[in-house]
Amino acid sequence: MQFDPCRTCAIAGALILTLLSGCATLPTSGPTASQIRHGAESNDNTLGFKIVDLSASTLQDVDRRTAAADAAQSTLASLAVIGRNDVVGPGDILSVGIYEVGVSLFGVGRDTGALYDPSAHGEQFPVIVVDRGGAIVLPYVGRLVVAGHTTSEIQTMIERGLKGKSQSPQALVTLKQNIANTIFVAGDVRKPGRFDLTLQRERLLDAIALAGGAYQTAEDTIVRFNRGDRTLEERLGRIKAGSPEDLVLVAGDRIELIKRPRTFIVLGATQKVAQVPFETGDLSLAEAVARAGGPSDAQADPSAIFLFRYLPATAADGDERPIIYRLDMQQPASYFLSQRFAIRDKDVVYIANAASNRTAKLANIINALFSPFVAARALSGN
């Protein structure tokens, strides 16, 4: 079969026209910078997102909004109360002993013939449980409301109740099992359970240590703290020992540790599309781009690094609002700004494709299509 250059050119021309008409449909990892700008300016932008170039003034605005949002959030320190861990409460199990001299209400003295032995006698009662109403009942004393009192105060109450009924009565009350003055630690800890509070005034971090500590790192763990009818959450890594957030515990506190890693997502013209964990306390935009492998030399537009985020709700703005921050890595100042711009949980970093990508892809396709024709012509000698 003889090679026909005219027919080949006609076929090539038809192919080129077909490819040019379909250039916009060539595969790509995402929109270009101009397409993102068009989306923000379009009437179809129902979310109302805007594009903001990253600058020194932008950083100040972000810091101001972050500070306002943090100030509006309730902190663990707002749950602080003054409580006591040395008083008896419902459910506690007490050990009560009564000691008398001479004739005893709870048992006669030792018989010495005609006289009673004047030495002291003791009576140890079976365990006594403080009832739901916070009271106990003792023979010859009756019902005593002991909830909210220390063991020393309860001893005095018993002795007062026996006054006039016994000779020099003395009471000894000890807490055999602590139920009321306890806290609970559950969730992602090594030894969940109920723990006694002591006069040492244990704090939040002490209780977590008693429970064996968190399975995950402090930065990947949320502390859900319940006191009364209020429940607040804070990341474990932000609670410093002895700080106001490290609450002094009171009876009934409940602590739950929850695994909740912070991550950001990297998309677009990068070495690898991935969901990336923070792994550290704070992470800057510069560090986030570096962890993603940086912009791809063959695909990316370094002047169009975009960060997609929802701004937190404020009193002035109402609901949270979507926004896109743009970083131009062709400007030297941007490298300084990116070191101060903090990444937030669930941010999306998008590295835009260069506008020339589609042209380059089209050229590669055309070269691949024409290579057989060129080879055939060379073999035919024409």
Domain CATH for 99: 3.30.1950.10
Q: What is the pLDDT of residue 371?
A: 58
> Given 259, 292, 321, which residue is the final one in a domain?
259
The angle, 0 to 180 degrees and rounded to 10, between the axes of the packed helices 5-21 and 357-380 is 170
Range of the domain at 311: 30-72+262-357
Q: What is the pLDDT of residue 360?
A: 47
Say whether both 143 and 189 belong to one domain. Answer: no
**3 falls within a domain:** no
**66 falls within a domain:** yes
Q: What is the pLDDT of residue 169?
A: 86
Write a three-state SS string for the chain.
Answer: CCCCHHHHHHHHHHHHHHHHHCHHHCCCCCCEHHHHHHHHHCCCCCCCCEEEECCHHHHHHHHHHHHHHHHHCCCHHHHCCCCCCCCCCCCCEEEEEEEEECCCCCCCCCECCCCECCCEEEEECCCEECCCCCEEEECCCEEEECCCCCHHHHHHHHHHHHECCECCCEEEEEEEECCCCEEEEEECECCCEEEECCCCCCEHHHHHHHCCCECCCHHHEEEEEEECCEEEEEEHHHCCCCCCCCCECCCCCEEEEEECCCEEEEEECECCCEEEECCCCCCEHHHHHHHCCCECCCCEEEEEEEEEEEECCCCCCCCCEEEEEEECCCCHHHHHHHHHCECCCCCEEEEEECCCHHHHHHHHHHHHHHHHHHHHHHHHCC
Say whether both 284 and 317 belong to one domain. Answer: yes
User: Splitting the chain (382 residues) into consecutive groups of 10 residues, what average pLDDT does each group show?
Assistant: 54 53 55 87 87 91 83 87 88 90 59 53 84 92 93 93 84 90 95 92 94 92 95 93 94 95 90 84 90 80 91 70 91 92 93 66 49 55 56
> Given 210, 244, 259, which residue is the final one in a domain?
259
Say whether both 104 and 173 belong to one domain. Answer: yes
Say whether both 255 and 267 belong to one domain. Answer: no
> Given 155, 177, 199, which residue is the final one in a domain?
177
Say whether both 234 and 311 belong to one domain. Answer: no
**117 falls within a domain:** yes
Say whether both 231 and 186 belong to one domain. Answer: yes
**371 falls within a domain:** no
Q: What CATH number has the domain bearing residue 236?
A: 3.10.560.10
Q: What is the pLDDT of residue 185?
A: 97
**316 falls within a domain:** yes
Say whether both 254 and 274 belong to one domain. Answer: no
| Residues 6+ positions from 223 with CB-CB distance below 8 Å | 76, 204, 208, 233, 234, 235, 236, 239, 255, 256, 257, 258
**222 falls within a domain:** yes
Say whether both 279 and 193 belong to one domain. Answer: no
- CB contact at 8 A, 76 and 112: no
Q: What is the pLDDT of residue 65?
A: 82
In total, how many domains does the chain have? Answer: 3
**196 falls within a domain:** yes
Say whether both 112 and 191 belong to one domain. Answer: no
Say whether both 266 and 352 belong to one domain. Answer: yes
Neighbours of 189 (CB within 10 A): 21
Q: pTM for this one?
A: 0.72
Say whether both 141 and 194 belong to one domain. Answer: no
**373 falls within a domain:** no
Say whether both 272 and 330 belong to one domain. Answer: yes
Q: How far is CA 113 from CA 16, 116, 376, in A?
A: 130, 8, 137
